[in-house]
A and B are shown apart, each in its own frame.
Chain A
């Protein structure tokens, strides 16, 4: 005898799919298809012909000294910036969380950097960090040597810029994460005589782990976006210390070498894929197949 209606599980699945359909359709049209085009371009010979040359372009790019430098610097920058911002914004969120009503004004302050437009931020940083700028002036006054902030120290300028701009962003997200921890857990721990360190490491951190993964992804997205300021401040061919994959891609774009640009893009995608795969893989383990 046939069932009169679909099982609840299947009905649910279909509904779920339908809910996500608009987002997926948009994704397909404006992200999947374009990326497919990029991948295809990365396998062609040159802009003038559409001969398929397989992985030759990839080996060319991977052998390039510029690409290797860019990759190294990008990993280095990400490796430093991401832990810094996560720790910093978590710290601030923890501080604010102690008494949200009282510290509310600070929360507004921390969001200010987000609303300032890029051109203004750049102007400010130029005034502060240029050769004759404020920082060098102070250093000289204190008897120290003025530094070349567009040279080797550019790394730190970029880092400070990124941290300054995005800490507020992450802080807001961390606050929401902290809020999701049920307060009775803390009360129970207090009754057991646990101090703040134990509470932090045994309750807070594990509980906000899924949120943290999420915030990490967002931070990576913002890190990519932060290169806009880097271009304006340091130009197309900056000092070797901050030459990153974005510069590689952008300069090839300027020289109309889209093939090379696509290869770079595909490689970036692969790396992100590996990272995200690892992150989500870990999540699966944590939540024990809750999905």
Chain B
């Protein structure tokens, strides 16, 4: 039994390591390359990115991809941080926007999730199904009509045009409904017997139990809003109000060093958020093995 477990463990470890390498390779790539000088980057990758293969050209493909910088330089970071004055401003702006949307959505989701998960009322299932359906519609479908609605509400040009629809996205409700469902009813019964009203139950009993789900929601929502590009572009009028995501999406491949650095910088807040909530994600998950 122990021997089988040991081999099982070894196999698991190997598989996990292999997969992890595949998965983090692009990230590692970005990190190391952000410290390379512009010249090195153009020399290695310029040709790959700008030309295409000529069918009759027989010259062998030379790859010069490498992970360790040959000409390490912080110039990329300098360029982005200091040479672009509004970068930091945009950074905090985006952060504020994302925080607002995430907070709002979490609140809405807690309320809605509780209602959908633990209560019954006629038509509830139908409404829930409708909500899920509309959540799945791709962006092109909702962009134009959303504009029409927001325009009627006179919100075009202000940040509320982005924040409000963001808060009302059905994703949070969906996620938390699922999470709350797995909280056993007995816990709620107990709370009710203790005389707590619904709000108290939600706040003091349900939410602490669902920390994992809420943490997932916060992280995922933050990721979505942090990378959001189409909505601010269309719903805001003033270019100065654009969040960081738009700035990042406009960096062309021509300026490789900048592209890499900006990628890393865009990644950092989200990563930090994840590391912060990492343990919350695992609350309640006991350390039980399958075997």
Contacts and interface: CB of A to CB of B under 8 A. Distances in A.
B270 A98 contact: no
A127 B136 contact: no
Interface in B104-157: 108-109, 111-112, 114-116, 118-122, 124-125, 127, 129-146, 148-149
Contacts, number: 309
A23 B178 contact: no
A59 B34 CA distance: 52
Given A12-B119, A115-B274, A117-B248, A214 B178 contact: yes
Contacts of B175: 218
Most buried by A among B26, B171, B182, B263: B26
Interface residues on B, range: 35 or more
A118 interface: yes
B175 to A, nearest CB: 8
Interface in A215-245: 217-218, 220-221, 224-225, 227
A19 B119 contact: yes
Contacts of A38: 141, 144-145
Contact of A120 (B108, B164, B267, B271): B267
A34 B23 contact: no
Nearest to B165: A30
Interface in B265-291: 266-267, 270-271, 274-275, 278, 281-282, 284-291
Nearest to B286: A179
A204 to B, nearest CB: 7
Contact of B124 (A16, A18, A179, A211): A16
Q: Is the interface of B mostly helix, strand, loop or mixed?
A: helix
Interface of B: 8-9, 12, 15-16, 19-20, 22-24, 26-27, 29-30, 45, 47-49, 51-53, 60-63, 65, 108-109, 111-112, 114-116, 118-122, 124-125, 127, 129-146, 148-149, 164-165, 167-168, 170-171, 173-175, 178-179, 181-182, 198, 202, 212-213, 216, 220, 223, 227, 245, 248-249, 251, 253, 259-260, 262-264, 266-267, 270-271, 274-275, 278, 281-282, 284-291
Interface of A: 9, 12-27, 29-35, 37-38, 92, 94-101, 103, 106-121, 123-124, 126-127, 130-134, 136-138, 140-141, 146, 148, 164, 167-169, 172-173, 175-176, 178-180, 183, 186, 190, 196, 199-200, 204, 210-211, 214, 217-218, 220-221, 224-225, 227, 246, 249-250, 253, 258, 261, 265, 268-269, 272-273, 276-277, 280, 291
25 contacts: A16-B118, A16-B120, A19-B114, A19-B115, A20-B115, A30-B146, A33-B145, A37-B145, A92-B16, A95-B15, A98-B289, A100-B285, A112-B23, A114-B220, A118-B249, A124-B29, A130-B52, A172-B281, A176-B212, A179-B286, A225-B139, A253-B140, A272-B137, A276-B133, A291-B120
